[in-house]
Every structure is written in C-alpha cells, then in structure tokens.
Amino acid sequence: MNKKAFITGISGQDGSYLAEYLLSRDYKVYGIVRRHSIAEHQDSRLENAYKNPNLECEYGDLLDTSSLERSMKSIKPDEIYNLAAQSHVRISYDMPQFTIQTNAVGVLNMLEAYRQNCPSAKFYQASSSEMFGDSVDKDEFQRETTAMTPVSPYGCSKVFAYNIIRNYRKAYNLFASNGILFNHESPRRGANFVSTKVIKAAVRIKLGLQDKLELGNMDAYRDWGHSKDYVRAMNMVLNHEKPDDFVISTMKTHSVRDMCEYVFAKLELNYEDYVVQNPKYLRAEELPYLKGDSTKARTTLGWEPEYTFETLMDDMIDHWMKHHE
C-alpha cells in the first residue's frame, strides 16, 4: 500500500517541492491550505503537483485545532511534515504575536492532534538555523550541539518548537524529529526574501524594467542551498531508524554582497551601480553569520546536496529571465 504523507505549509516553497518529491515516490499526499480571498493565489505553487491524482488538499490552519484533528483522524498518515509557519524573519518583528502563535503554539496544536489521533506516525518539524542566533562554535560552524541564542521573534518561536518536539519524543515515545535547515532558496522562493529580491531586480535591470535595488544589511552571511535538495533531506530524516535532530546545510557561507556581485556579474552588470541601502530593510537585531556543519546528516543519512551556491543562483536567474521574456 502507498505510504500516506500529511504536509502543512504545502502551498509554500518547501511544501510544494516536497509534495512533488513524495508523489514521485508513490506516496499518497495530503495537505492543508489556508483560505485566501484570491483563491487562485492559494495554490499557485502546486500547479505541477495537482497534475497527480494522488494529491488531496483541504482547508485547515495551525491555529484551528478542529481542522488539525479532523485531518489526522481521517487521513491516519504514516508521515507528518509540519512546514507551516510565518517564515519571514524581519516580518516577525512586525507581527510577533501571530509569529509565536503559528510557529510555537501551532506546533503544540499539531503535536497534540498527532499524539491523540495517530501516534504511530512519524513527525518532521521544520526547525531553522535562525535558532542559533549569534552563537557560533570556535571553528565558525553551527551544528546540532551549538548553543541556541535566537535574535528574532521568529528564532525564539522556532526554539520553542524544537524543544517541544524533543520533549514529546521522550515523554510520549513518539517518532518526532527536527530538521535544522539552513537557508534554502529556489525559483519558488517568496519575493520578499533576499535571494529572489536580488535576482528578480537584477534581471529587470538588465531588461531595462527597473533602475535600482534597495536592500538592508549587505554584510550578513548565510549558508544558502536549494530547496529541492533540502526536501529530500526531510524525507530521509523521517526514514532514519530512529527519531533524531539533523543540521542540513551546504557547509559554505556567502554574504548578501557576494550574492549581488555574483548575480549582477552573471548578467554583465556591476552591482555597485544599482544597489542602494534603505534602512527600512534593516532588522531590529541582525543575525550576522550562519554556516552549518551537516556532517551528521551526511554520514548518518547519506544526504548530499546536488546544488552549489552558484548553480542555485543560476537556476533562479534562468527562471526569472524566462519569466520576463
């Protein structure tokens, strides 16, 4: 019989790639989507996945416990991927309460619905490198054992979720795991994250559709990978012999300035002629440096990324070039 996967956040960047990946491996995939006033925007990223009859979505929300219980009871999933979140770090300062409600209390709502309706399922929690905040080991990496000192409402919400997963794993003997994923991007990345913002603007500048790009802090470093590689890792985390926590990263770091330099140069432009700073995009507290050590996932799960920083950027540039052509 086909395995059944239940995905929250299925309409997001990772949720949509994960759905396609699991469908390609013969899973029956279920998801919840929130109600949007413009219904066609709701599942624009799911266009490919919907071609497969093994995908079913219904309305639900992490803050609506009745919808979560209904889904768990009726689907009885084998694997649960909890990807739903208010995932924008700067916006978590504008909407701290919604962020904590969804990313922290919402995870507890999911765990309770899971524990009470389908405790033999496996549960994946979308944890984040943002949990490390400004904490870095002496060798300049963050890893599973690095202290967590988050520097944003988003980071704080994810630390709660990470800890409650570990607590429920032990207390109730559940197969609940954390994937601690570093930044990952793709052509489906939201327009207000820095990768899409830089690449879309550079392409539009190249085509004469825009004349400048306003950014915040260009000296922050991030470990950027491709979402397609990272959703593969999520599935490997749940198919490991025991529940555990894994860092997923490329083990390389680049600054926002490096990103601008690479992307504009690829389009035969000099970023310094177009990029200006706007304090509007600075954060109340910045996380300056992320570089993940994913040795544990590589040796235990056999996971390796296929994309590099450069091939990720190239994939996104190609996408936005085609979009505008």
Phi/psi of residue 150, nearest 5 degrees: -65, 150
Residues with Cβ within 8 Å of residue 190, at least 6 apart in sequence: 13, 87, 88, 196
Residues in contact with ligand F7E, counted by CB under 6 A, come to a total of 21
Active site residue 241: no
13 binds ligand NAP (CB under 6 A): yes
Q: How far is the CB of 38 from ligand F7E (least distance, A)?
A: 23
Q: Which residues between 169 and 208 bind ligand NAP (CB under 6 A)? A: 181, 183-184, 190
- Binding to ligand F7E by CB under 6 A, coded x per residue (else -) over 251-270, reads -----x--------------
Contact by Cβ (8 Å): 272, 321: no
Direct distance between the N- and C-terminal alpha carbons of the chain, in angstroms, rounded to an integer: 44
- Interface with ligand F7E includes 190 (CB under 6 A)? no
Burial of 56 per CB tally in 10 Å (0-12, 13-18, 19+): exposed
Binding partner selected for residue 194 from ligand NAP, ligand F7E, none, CB under the kind-specific 5 to 8 Å limit: ligand F7E
What's the full length of the chain, in residues?
325
Give the separation between CA 91 and CA 97, rounded to whole angstroms: 11
CA 228 to chain centre: 11
Minimum distance from CB of 230 to ligand NAP (Å)? 8
Quote the tokens at residue 245.
Answer: 């926590």
Nearer of residues 122 and 206 to ligand NAP, judged by Cβ: 122
Q: According to the binding rule CB under 6 A, does residue 96 interact with ligand F7E?
A: no
* Known catalytic residue at 154: yes
- Which are the catalytic amino acids? 128, 130, 154
Binding-site ranges for ligand F7E (CB under 6 A): 87, 89-90, 128-130, 182-183, 192-194, 197, 215-217, 220, 222, 256, 281, 283, 286
